[in-house]
Amino acid sequence: MREFIVEADGGSRGNPGPAGYGAVVRDAATGEPLTEAAEYIGIATNNVAEYRGLLAGLSAARALDPTATVHVRMDSKLVIEQMSGRWKIKHPDMKPLATQARSVLPPDQVTYEWIPREQNKYADRLANEAMDAGTKGEQWSPSRSTAALGEQRPTAPEEQHVSTPGWGSAPDLGAPATFVLLRHGETPLTPQKRFSGSGGTDPSLSDAGREQARRTAEALARRGTVQAVIASPLTRTRETAGIVAARLGLDVTIEDGLRETDFGAWEGLTFGEVRDRHPDDLNAWLADPEAHPTGGGESFAETATRIAATRDKLVAAHAGRTVLLVSHVTPIKTFVRLALGAPPESLFRMELSAASLSAVAYYADGNASVRLFNDTSHLRP
């Protein structure tokens, strides 16, 4: 079952006065805007415009997929509380609008959440564009909209369930636990491509890495889908997570299972230096997931066992939520490899850039869907 986020808003210049609404439907896993709606509605109140925005957003989501689950996010406390059933609807203008909104999709497919106005800028801008057009005697047009300026629009790969081959529809398993996997920003070792695991010097972010973290934070804030932030205990991941979490208004939880592989005596060396100094150990490590780096460290098989246990624990704790996991190259590749059911050697066939975003959704029946991999569009100027 697909999952959408609807962000909606409405405004009135005078209350009542010239009014309009805006709504955007996003992919819940990636935050990608899928479709927009906006309209000038003449003279109306703020609340009427907000309800009209909700109606438009729900209708747009239904047009995309009438079976999808929809999470509505609005900065109107009135609309959210009334549609959630916690506040009574007393105003005669609101009752028919609320009834219409409830009839767009089955109630069990829709949930509601109040968000601060700061997190609803996209829909707010659409509503203002509609009002601007209406006061000029024009119709709002998507081709003229600037609401998406600054939005990052990653393209998610097609969903692929490991143990469900073919093209049949998946059963209704409820909302998955979605892990957005963020590799930490650059450290001084990153551009030099040196082994930097959990057994080395534990470097901090470089200036470039901190800027990457800030850009990632802004992109995730615009998407507005992350509900928790969990990080590896290493310094570079804690720093990256701290920058992002501060922007999102969330706390950081530390999870030891997300740490990088321990590369033993190879820590701080380049691949070429390891090949020159420890050729036999390197060849064995490349050929056998059970092999250890020189001097001990951790094999890829041991890392996979650790990541699988961490995955299962976090999936159980965060069912139905979108969680940002700030980790490292090997753990993130391992999350993806396990989700795809790919062999261990696939780790060497994946490129994972600093501060890149990937996403995997985990369903109640144990299946997983890779929705995004190595997206760096948010890092572009």
Residue positions in the annotated binding site? 236
Length of the chain counted residue by residue: 381
Q: Which of 36, 39, 260, 267 is catalytic?
A: 260
Three-class secondary structure of residue 111 per DSSP = strand
Rounded CA-CA distance 324/313 in Å is: 15
Rounded CA-CA distance 260/306 in Å is: 11
Alpha helices in the chain (DSSP H): 46-64, 77-83, 94-104, 121-135, 207-223, 235-248, 271-277, 279-287, 300-317, 329-340
Q: Which of 184, 292, 318, 378 is catalytic?
A: 184
**Active-site residue, 184 included:** yes
**Active-site residue, 36 included:** no
Rounded CA-CA distance 1/63 in Å is: 15
CA torsion angle 320 323 325 331 (round to 10): 20
Q: Classify strands 228-231 and 110-114 as parallel, antiparallel or unpaired.
A: unpaired
Rounded CA-CA distance 50/8 in Å is: 7
Which of 293, 118, 86 shows the shortest CA–CA distance to 198?
293
Q: Binding site for substrate, residues?
A: 236
- Which residues are the active-site residues? 184, 260
